[in-house]
Structure 1
């Protein structure tokens, strides 16, 4: 049998989980009624305890301190890679930080990486990302544009993929809020677009994206427009009409700020 590296093994395990193979099975049937009479399991090997300051630390307070110390986007990326108090990091292949032009007038905040994003290390690269690129290209914006007036800068609330693409928990979102706020401060966009419930909860403290979408508000001291996530549009194509209206509203707002 050939040796395989960690990331290959993790990808194989994630593939099985995506297929629904979430419980290990043996070669022989097991009578669970006999388990009470079975010999007790062998003790697990002792694991090294986390350092006392880290084990007892408030994850949000640590995140706030690390984020505040970052003086650049590169420094913030390094700080997030060094943040070890979120369990999602242990099961992720990549720390998905950002994509696009950091000087863009528009900063787009998504939810969390999916499988494709975790494998590639960039946000919005799967089918939802392809739809997102077509949507914003329709109003003259692209993540690949070197012109800040025609560019997008993209990140997510969560830099690590939740297992089986579940929604991030409130505690996980709270840990990432200081990093997200510092990210906005360092990128310094003119406008923010939040796509989906997770960024609405992180930035606005509210959920219900189908009610919030299309209504301009303020987040981190900047004009902010909630929009539905492209993945929602793939499942509900009839909602593309509302998404197009939101894109036109964004285009008009950018023109007014020019």
Structure 2
């Protein structure tokens, strides 16, 4: 496939070609994450990534969060089949997940208190990727399937990633701060965050990413240990506390589904993420 054809496919997938917002269009959905209030942002000057378009989207072009023809209920997404150890090293009982490999870590999580959830949601994607995407906690779809970011919000995230030549199947890994769905899809409590934090930290140790993308207010504030509104965290590079690791912040796709007026800002975030990824090879 030529570059122009691939670019056109990406832009078409995001609705960035001759897109017009229908005021009367259906914007509802089955996503369970609660939309979060956002503070006003400062404009972010960015240029389009080469993998998306040579000259960027036309003025006013935005991410398409309208329900699309392919927005039918998602099929069940099965985690990759792996050999999960039946037993863990004795040290795991004393030291927690420190020192565990990927499969041992997943087995360790499965033995933790589910806190009323059906199953843990460990993560999905390329474990050797340079980009780690972190959300806040599983919703109802994720709790049912055991995979992060499924349903309409997951489809939108996949289209956003495709626009910058990324995919959970090849070059990103996706997980959440909390590994179990909070009751009624409320925000995770500090105790729930603390319980699952060692799992996330060990995932980062094993993966050794070069960039973390925090998706949504709760994920961004938790990862950066701050209370700054998401709108003020966007558009700039942050450092992960106590690690030599870059962090960028963007909106949760479920928020974009409910707040289409923020689509242009999400597009600016994607361009910034793409530029940062390209710098890896320079």
On whether the aligned pair clears a TM of 0.5, the verdict is: yes
Higher helix share: 1
Give 2:187's aligned residue.
167
Are positions 1:243 and 2:266 aligned together?
A: yes
Give 2:123's aligned residue.
98
Structure 1: distance between partners of 2:93 and 2:167 = 31
Runs (4+) off by over 3 Å: none
Are positions 1:135 and 2:160 aligned together?
A: yes
Are positions 1:196 and 2:225 aligned together?
A: no
1:48-59 to 2 correspondence within 5 Å?
A: none
Structure 1: distance between partners of 2:95 and 2:145 = 29
Q: Deviations over 1:22-57 (max 9, x none)?
A: xxxxxxxxxxxxxxxxxxxxxxxxxxxxxxxxxxxx
TM-score (norm 1): 0.69
1:1-258 to 2 correspondence within 5 Å?
A: 65-70=95-100, 72-84=101-113, 89-145=114-170, 151-207=171-227, 208-219=229-240, 220-258=243-281
Distance 1:63 1:227, change over 3 A: farther
Distance 1:111 1:105, change over 3 A: same
Count of residue correspondences: 188
SS, match of residue 68 in structure 1: coil
- Aligned-residue RMSD, C-alpha: 1.8
Q: Check whether the contact 1:63–1:179 (CA below 8 A) recurs between aligned residues.
A: no
TM-score (norm 2): 0.63
Q: Deviations over 1:187-219 (max 9, x none)?
A: 111111011122223321123222212221111
Distance 1:189 1:180, change over 3 A: same
Larger radius of gyration: 1
| Structure 1 unaligned blocks of 5 or more | 1-17, 19-61, 146-150
| Structure 2 unaligned blocks of 5 or more | 1-31, 33-91
